[in-house]
């Protein structure tokens, strides 16, 4: 029987992680058809199915779950060993996979990432944006980018400078109809656009002024799970929204939104790049972390 290679083993983990052949194929850079054939050959070699497939879904079989549990940690060790070897190379190369919140990705794409790939053309940056907070190790990422408060305690964090801030906003038309809230308690007399977090809970709006901190579950007749859609609803005059300042800067500048209760939204801890503690980092990772620290200094300045 042929022996499964690293590519096949990584493919199984990618499908288990992403939940579909199509998404996994994109992650590992091959066609869905080729990936399906690869897994089919592996299952034939093993003499059992790893996945239950239908036209709508993919799920692990019992054997598949056992396979992932056993192979996953071993494959991480192998990749770690390969990184150790690659770290001896003088010229940074290989792939760095980064998971970032959408607004965070917009902040670091230029000049940090674009500047880095120009400087190190042999390094491939694979940037994935998603609102949910993921386990970067389990999901196969090298680096995460989130606000400081969301960085897991067991990770090494590199602050990226600039503080963050929430912006309470509404359309000019909404303000003309309903007036401006002055304090957090005034929001209970308004229609607010509520946002559901990836874990299913509702995002609670946070306020602070003169040492008084308030966190409220705002009222509203519209609940969404995507901030860009919530922003569009605010622009349409549905109600008041709460967003990261960077995410609505263009809408505020263009006058599509106006800012409310600015004195209740002070700055808080900024973005951090974070990664698992490893004794040996690849040359590419070392170079990227150095570039990130340079980027942080430029933001502070």
Query: Tokens standing for 204?
Result: 């609670």
Write down the pLDDT at residue 299: 75
**Which of 38-42, 95-99, 152-156, 276-280 has the least mean pLDDT?**
276-280
Beta bridge partners of 94: 123
pLDDT score, position 31: 86
* Nearest-angstrom CA–CA distance, 292 and 121: 17
Of all residues in the chain, the percent with pLDDT exceeding 70 is: 92
Architecture of the CATH domain 166-264: 3-Layer(aba) Sandwich (3.40)
Burial class of residue 30, CB neighbours in 10 A (0-12, 13-18, 19+)? middle
Contact 58, 20 (CB under 8 A): yes
How is domain 6-78 classified at the CATH fold level?
Answer: Arc Repressor Mutant, subunit A (1.10.10)
Q: What's the mean pLDDT in 53-64?
A: 83
Mean pLDDT of 121-139: 87
CATH hierarchy code of domain 94-163+269-300: 3.40.190.10
CA distance 250 to 269: 22
pLDDT digits (tens, 9 = 90+) for 239-275: 999 998 988 999 999 999 999 999 999 988 788 999 9
φ, ψ of residue 96 in degrees (nearest 5): -115, 120
Q: Is the pLDDT of residue 113 over 90?
A: yes
- Which token pair is 259? 């800012």
Span of 2-16, 77-91, 145-159, 277-291 with lowest mean pLDDT: 77-91
> Given this chain, do its domains 94-163+269-300 and 166-264 carry the same CATH topology?
yes
Buried b / exposed e across 79-107, counting CB within 10 Å, b at 16+? eeeebeebbeeeebbbebbbbbbebbbeb
Q: Which of 2-6, 151-155, 266-270 has the highest mean pLDDT?
A: 151-155
Mean local confidence (pLDDT), 194-212: 87
Judged against a pLDDT cut of 90, whether residue 171 lies above it is answered with: yes
The pLDDT confidence band at residue 110, using thresholds 50, 70 and 90, is confident
Break the chain into its structural domains and give their ranges.
6-78, 94-163+269-300, 166-264
Q: At residue 300, does pLDDT exceed 90?
A: no
- Please give the structure tokens belonging to residue 196: 């559901």
The whole-chain average pLDDT of the chain stands at 87
Q: Identify the residue whose tokens are 């794409």.
A: 109
Mean pLDDT of 194-202: 83
Partnered with residue 223 across adjacent β-strands are 194
At 1 the pLDDT is 41
Q: What is the pLDDT of residue 227?
A: 87
């Amino acid at each position: 029987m042929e022996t499964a290679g690293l590519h096949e083993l990584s493919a199984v983990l990618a499908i288990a992680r992403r939940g579909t052949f199509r998404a996994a194929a994109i992650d590992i850079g091959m066609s869905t058809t080729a990936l399906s054939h690869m897994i089919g050959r592996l299952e034939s070699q093993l003499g059992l199915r790893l996945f239950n497939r239908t036209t709508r879904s993919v799920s692990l079989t019992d054997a598949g779950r056992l396979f992932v549990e056993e192979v996953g940690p071993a494959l991480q060790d192998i990749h770690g060993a390969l990184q150790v070897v690659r770290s001896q190379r003088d010229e940074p190369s290989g792939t760095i996979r980064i998971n970032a919140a959408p607004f965070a990705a917009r902040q670091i794409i230029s000049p940090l990432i674009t500047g880095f790939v120009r400087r190190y053309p042999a390094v491939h940056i694979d940037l994935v944006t998603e609102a949910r907070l993921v386990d970067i190790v389990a999901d196969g990422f090298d680096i995460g980018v989130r606000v400081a408060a969301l960085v897991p305690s067991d990770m090494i964090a590199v602050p990226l400078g600039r503080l963050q801030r929430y912006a309470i906003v509404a359309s000019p038309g909404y303000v003309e109809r309903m007036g401006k809230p002055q304090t957090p308690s005034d929001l209970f007399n308004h229609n607010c656009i509520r946002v559901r977090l990836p874990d299913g809970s509702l995002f609670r709006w946070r306020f602070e002024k003169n040492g008084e901190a308030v966190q409220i579950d705002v009222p509203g007749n519209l609940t969404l799970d995507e901030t860009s859609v919530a922003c569009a609803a605010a622009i349409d005059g549905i109600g008041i929204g709460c967003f990261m300042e960077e995410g609505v800067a263009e809408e505020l500048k263009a006058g599509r939104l106006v800012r409310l209760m600015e004195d209740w939204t002070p700055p808080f801890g900024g973005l951090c790049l974070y990664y698992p503690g490893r004794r040996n980092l690849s040359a590419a990772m070392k170079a990227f972390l150095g570039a990130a620290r340079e980027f942080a200094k430029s933001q502070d300045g």
